[in-house]
């Protein structure tokens, strides 16, 4: 299979005309796409930094999420998803992939994330991590910040990617010797 050789720009970390791997965005993205917070003042300071670097920020208060219907309704509203948004995790994954990221990037913060079921919190963060990875392929930054009220809160890793077969050997029949 031949692959295009056209060079494209990747999301380089430049500030004031020079490469700058010292910003908050760099520190978060070098370890994944999500950062956990306990103190709200630390989150607020970091959100101010992102805004000063021309990031768009969208904030959610998870205490208002009485159920997944409310959560998906807020996603639809704040991200301006289309009317046909299915209000489920598969639709969220699809819609985040189609999201237009402007300016330097998009930062999504979830406050009081430990007020919802851990399984739901993990699903949301995992979907956002997957969307972040996909957007990075096009040079766009999507960063997720999750604030919790429990200083000992832990959550399973997010953004894990399954190792899959290459495009030419995707089907089992293509890997079996004839």
Please write the tens of the pLDDT for every residue from 107-154: 999 999 999 999 999 999 999 999 999 998 888 999 999 999 999 898
pTM of the model: 0.84
Kindly state the average pLDDT of the residues 148-165. 80
pLDDT, residue 137, reads: 87
Q: In what order do the strands lie in the sheet with 105-111?
A: 34-37, 142-147, 105-111, 55-61
SS3 category, 142: strand
* 11-31 average pLDDT score: 73
Q: What is the rounded CA–CA span in Å between residue 142 and residue 131?
A: 8
CATH architecture of the domain covering 20-174:
2-Layer Sandwich (3.30)
**In this model, does residue 1 exceed pLDDT 60?**
no
Q: Tell me the pLDDT band of 93, cut-offs 50, 70 and 90.
A: very high
Is the predicted pLDDT of residue 68 greater than 80, yes or no?
A: yes
* pLDDT score recorded for residue 7: 43
132 phi and psi angles, rounded to 5 deg: -60, -45
- 105 pLDDT band (50/70/90 cuts)? very high
What average pLDDT score do residues 79-86 get?
Answer: 95
């Amino acid at each position: 299979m031949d692959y295009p050789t056209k060079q494209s720009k990747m999301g380089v970390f430049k500030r004031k005309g020079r490469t700058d791997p010292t910003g908050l965005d760099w520190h978060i993205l070098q370890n994944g796409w999500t950062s956990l917070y306990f103190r709200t003042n630390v989150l607020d300071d970091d959100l101010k930094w992102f805004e000063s670097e021309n990031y768009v920020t969208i904030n959610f208060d998870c205490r208002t999420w009485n159920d997944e219907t409310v959560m998906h309704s807020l996603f639809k509203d704040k991200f301006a998803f289309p009317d046909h948004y299915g209000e489920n995790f598969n639709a969220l994954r699809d819609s985040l992939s189609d999201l237009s990221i402007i300016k330097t990037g998009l930062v999504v913060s979830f406050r009081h994330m430990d007020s919802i079921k851990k399984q739901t919190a993990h699903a949301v963060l995992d979907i956002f991590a997957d969307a972040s990875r996909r957007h990075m392929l096009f040079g766009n930054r999507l960063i997720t910040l999750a604030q919790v009220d429990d200083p000992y809160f832990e959550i399973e890793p997010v953004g894990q990617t399954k190792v899959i077969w290459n495009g030419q050997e995707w089907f089992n029949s293509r890997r079996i010797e004839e």
